[in-house]
């Protein structure tokens, strides 16, 4: 009986390659791959006798060599994972890749093999999170398409990202980026109504329907990945600038005096706390977006903690070496 890892047949990019392509699209201001760019219909198939089959779709964080997918497969004896993640993809391109590599794959249409469940692990959307409603709509499409094909879905939120050296997060500018990130994360976690998650794109949908949300959701944004013990920003410089900041003025100008004061205090508090929502420095690979292997171990462990018994996981294998 073969127990070789099918993931080995899909070579991961080197760190140097990731450095070259990790512009991270939307957040970094670098063009992301458009839906269908350089995409072909997949002809791969699963290769082992492990009963549970899973595919990973996402962007460069999910594609990271030696990352959570590989580590998770090592800890879950019943699961064969094929990692189809690809750097620089926004949510629409991830959806297109899922369609072409999985749903249109003629080998998979003949059967996935195994005797157990079929899963897709969805992680991505940071490249397009500047438009969170559209990103959520595209991710919703992946969830619906996967469920329509008989797959179960494990949804992973975006992870912590940002840094004080990144001017896009300076002052009050980072609030918009954090709010966009949180909207994408809260959708995956099922915390939002359709109107909250999709805005006008909800198109009258008043409540989520079966198949609209993941079967299992894993919060990576509010996790051990974030630098929750970081020092907050000093209040003085922010307080001195808040009344002249154009984004803040636009947010509070139409409020009553009482509500304006409360909103001003909330914005100031959020701006001060932003460093506590960055990726921990000791878990960074080469920038403030991509976790290193220790960070991916944390991701794998959080997935493992929610994995069904059918996966046959030994989560102790994902504990830090000092705790095994």
| Contacts with 223 (C-beta within 8 Å, 6 or more apart), sequence order | 159, 160, 298, 302
| Spatial separation of the C-alpha atoms in residues 268 and 134, rounded to whole Å | 28
Q: Tell me what the mean pLDDT of segment 36-53 comes to.
A: 90
Task: Return contacts of 187-193, CB within 8 angstroms, 24+ apart.
Answer: 187/136, 187/139, 187/140, 188/139, 188/155, 188/156, 188/157, 188/214, 188/217, 189/155, 189/157, 189/217, 189/219, 190/214, 190/217
Question: Pick from 181, 188, 179, 145: which is nearest to 161 by CA?
Answer: 181
> Domain 6-230+279-316 class?
alpha beta
Q: Is pLDDT at 11 greater than 60 in this prediction?
A: no
Residue 237 confidence (pLDDT) above 80? yes
- CB 214, CB 156: distance < 8 Å: no
- pLDDT above 70 covers what percent of the chain? 88
pLDDT of amino acid 46 = 97
Residue with tokens 């808040």, as numbered in its chain: 242
Distance (Å, whole) CA 298 – CA 300: 5
Q: In this structure, what DSSP letter does residue 103 have? A: I
pTM (2 decimals)?
0.91
pLDDT at 321 over 80: no
DSSP 1-43: -----GGGGSPPPPHHHHHHHTT-HHHHT-PPBPTTTT-----
Q: Is a pLDDT exceeding 60 seen at residue 24? A: no
Beta carbons within 8 Å of 122's beta carbon, 6+ residues apart: 57, 58, 94, 139, 142, 143, 146, 153, 154, 155, 156, 214
67 and 75 in contact (C-beta within 8 Å)?
Answer: no
Q: 1-10 pLDDT, tens per residue?
A: 344 445 544 4
pLDDT of residue 34: 66
Q: How far is CA 65 from the centre of its chain?
A: 16
The residue ranges of every structural domain in the chain are 6-230+279-316, 231-277
Q: What does pLDDT average to over the chain?
A: 91
117 pLDDT more than 50:
yes
Pair 22, 290: CB distance under 8 Å: yes
Mean pLDDT of 202-223: 98
Residue 33: pLDDT band (50, 70, 90) is: low
pLDDT band at 320 (very low <50, low <70, confident <90, very high): confident
More confident residue, 312 or 13: 312
């Amino acid at each position: 009986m073969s127990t070789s890892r099918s993931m080995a047949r899909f070579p991961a990019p080197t760190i140097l390659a990731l450095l070259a392509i990790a512009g991270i699209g939307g957040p970094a201001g670098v063009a992301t791959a458009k839906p269908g760019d350089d995409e072909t219909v997949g002809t791969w198939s699963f290769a082992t006798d492990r009963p549970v089959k899973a595919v990973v779709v996402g962007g460069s964080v999910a594609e990271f060599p030696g990352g959570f997918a590989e580590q998770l497969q090592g800890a879950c004896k019943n699961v064969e994972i094929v990692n189809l993640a690809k750097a620089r993809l926004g949510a629409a391109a991830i959806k297109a890749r899922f369609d072409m590599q999985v749903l249109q794959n003629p080998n998979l249409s003949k059967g996935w093999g195994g005797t157990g469940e079929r899963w897709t692990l969805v992680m991505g959307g940071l490249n397009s999170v500047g438009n969170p409603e559209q990103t959520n709509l595209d991710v919703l499409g992946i969830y619906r398409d996967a469920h329509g094909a008989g797959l179960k879905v494990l949804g992973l939120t975006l992870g912590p990202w940002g840094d004080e050296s990144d001017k896009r997060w300076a002052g009050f500018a980072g609030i918009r980026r954090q709010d966009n990130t949180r909207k994408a994360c809260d959708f995956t976690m099922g915390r939002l109504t359709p109107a909250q998650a999709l805005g006008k794109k909800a198109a009258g949908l008043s409540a989520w329907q079966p198949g609209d949300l993941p079967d299992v959701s894993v919060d990576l944004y509010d996790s051990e990945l974030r630098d929750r013990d970081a020092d907050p920003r000093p209040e003085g410089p922010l307080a001195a600038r808040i009344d002249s900041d154009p984004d803040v003025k636009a947010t509070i100008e139409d409020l009553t005096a009482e509500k304006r004061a409360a909103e001003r205090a909330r914005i100031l508090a959020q701006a001060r706390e932003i460093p506590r929502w960055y990726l921990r420095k000791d878990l960074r690979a080469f920038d403030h977006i991509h976790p290193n292997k220790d960070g991916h171990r944390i991701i794998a462990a959080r997935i493992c903690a929610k994995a069904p018994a059918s996966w046959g996981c030994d989560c102790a294998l994902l504990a830090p070496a000092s705790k095994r």
